[in-house]
Amino acid sequence: MSKCPIMTTAAGIPIADNQNSLTAGPRGPVLMTDHQLMERMAHFNRERVPERVVHAKGAGAYGTFTVTADISKYTCAKLFSKVGNKCEVFLRFSTVAGELGSADTARDPRGFACKFYTEEGNWDLVGNNTPVFFVRDPLKFQDFIHSQKRHPQTGLRDNTMQWDFWSLSPESLHQVTILFSDRGIPATYRNMNGYSSHTYSVWNEKGERFWVKWHLKTMQGIKCLTNAESAKIAGEDLDYHRRDLFNAIEKGDHPKWKVQLQIMPEKDAETYHIHPFDLTKVWPHKDYPPVDVGILELNRNPENYFAEVEQAAFEPSNMPPGFGASPDKMLQARILSYADTHRYRIGINYAALPVNKPRCPVNTYHRDGHMRFDGNYGGQVNYQPNSFNGPVDDKKFREPPLKISGDADRYDHRKGNEDYSQAGDLYRLMNADQKSQLIDNIVQAMKSVPRDIQERQIKHFTAADPDYGARVAKGLGL
Q: What per-residue confidence (pLDDT) applies to 29? A: 67
Cβ atoms of residues 275 and 327 within 8 Å: no
* DSSP H or E stretch at residue 297: strand 291-300
Give domain status of residue 381, yes or no. Answer: no
User: Does residue 2 surpass a pLDDT of 70?
Assistant: no
List the CATH number of the domain containing 328.
2.40.180.10
Query: From the candidates 35, 43, 128, 301, which is the catalytic residue?
Result: 128
User: Does residue 406 surpass a pLDDT of 90?
Assistant: no
Sequence-distant (≥ 6) Cβ neighbours of residue 431 within 8 angstroms: none
128 in active site: yes
Cβ atoms of residues 54 and 145 within 8 Å: yes
The rounded Cα 278 to chain-centroid distance in angstroms is 14
Sequence-distant (≥ 6) Cβ neighbours of residue 416 within 8 angstroms: none
Which amino acid is present at 276? P
Chain segment 271-287, per-residue pLDDT in tens: 999 999 999 999 999 99
At residue 45 the predicted structure's pLDDT band, cuts being 50, 70 and 90, is: low
Which amino acid is present at 445? A
Q: What per-residue confidence (pLDDT) applies to 44? A: 65
> In the 3-class helix/strand/coil scheme, how is 403-425 assigned residue by residue?
CCCCCCCCCCCCCCCCCCHHHHH
Q: Could you give the C-alpha distances from 141 to 95, 145, 169, 176, 330, in angstroms and in order?
A: 16, 6, 12, 15, 8
Give domain status of residue 34, yes or no. Answer: no
Dihedral (CA of 5, 10, 14, 17) sign: negative
Q: How many CA atoms lie within 13 A of 443 on its CB side?
A: 17
Give domain status of residue 426, yes or no. Answer: no
Which amino acid is present at 471? R
Give domain status of residue 117, yes or no. Answer: yes
Question: Distance between CA 352 and CA 374 in Å, rounded?
Answer: 8
Q: What per-residue confidence (pLDDT) applies to 46? A: 67
Helices and strands of the chain, counted as H and E runs:
11, 10
Beta strand 58-67 pairing with 291-300: antiparallel
User: Does residue 20 surpass a pLDDT of 80?
Assistant: no
Chain segment 98-143, per-residue pLDDT in tens: 898 999 999 999 999 999 999 999 999 999 999 999 999 888 988 8
Chain segment 187-240, per-residue pLDDT in tens: 999 999 999 999 999 999 999 999 999 999 999 999 999 999 999 999 999 999
Residues 348-372: b if buried by 16+ CB within 10 A, e if exposed? bbbbbbebbbbebebbbbbeebeeb
Q: What per-residue confidence (pLDDT) applies to 458? A: 98
Give domain status of residue 321, yes or no. Answer: yes
What is the number of domains present in the chain? 1
What letter does residue 261 receive in the DSSP assignment? E
Give domain status of residue 474, yes or no. Answer: no
At residue 35 the predicted structure's pLDDT band, cuts being 50, 70 and 90, is: confident
Torsion angle, alpha carbons of 284, 286, 287, 291, to 10 = 90
pTM of the model: 0.90
- Residue from 204, 205, 213, 163 nearest 442 by CA: 163
43 in active site: no
Instruction: Compute how many other C-beta atoms are within 10 angstroms of the C-beta atom of residue 148.
Output: 19
* DSSP H or E stretch at residue 433: helix 432-446
End-to-end CA distance of the chain: 81
Burial category of 102 from C-beta neighbours within 10 Å (exposed 0-12, middle 13-18, buried 19 and up): middle
Strand, coil or helix: 80: helix
More confident site: 1 or 41: 41
Cβ atoms of residues 141 and 169 within 8 Å: no
What letter does residue 103 receive in the DSSP assignment? -
What letter does residue 13 receive in the DSSP assignment? P
Query: From the candidates 35, 43, 55, 198, which is the catalytic residue?
Result: 55
At residue 463 the predicted structure's pLDDT band, cuts being 50, 70 and 90, is: very high
More confident site: 15 or 92: 92
Question: Distance between CA 400 and CA 206 in Å, rounded?
Answer: 9
Cβ atoms of residues 399 and 15 within 8 Å: no
Strand, coil or helix: 401: coil
Give domain status of residue 42, yes or no. Answer: no
Question: Distance between CA 289 and CA 431 in Å, rounded?
Answer: 23
Question: Distance between CA 437 and CA 228 in Å, rounded?
Answer: 11
- Residue from 117, 108, 110 nearest 93 by CA: 110
Question: Distance between CA 66 and CA 84 in Å, rounded?
Answer: 6
Cβ atoms of residues 124 and 325 within 8 Å: no
Strand, coil or helix: 450: coil
Angle at CA of residue 276, ends 270 and 281, nearest 5°: 150
What's the mean per-residue pLDDT of the chain? Answer: 93
Cβ atoms of residues 36 and 393 within 8 Å: no
Q: What per-residue confidence (pLDDT) applies to 416? A: 82
Question: Distance between CA 102 and CA 238 in Å, rounded?
Answer: 7
Give domain status of residue 193, yes or no. Answer: yes
Give the structural domain span for 316.
54-134+185-360
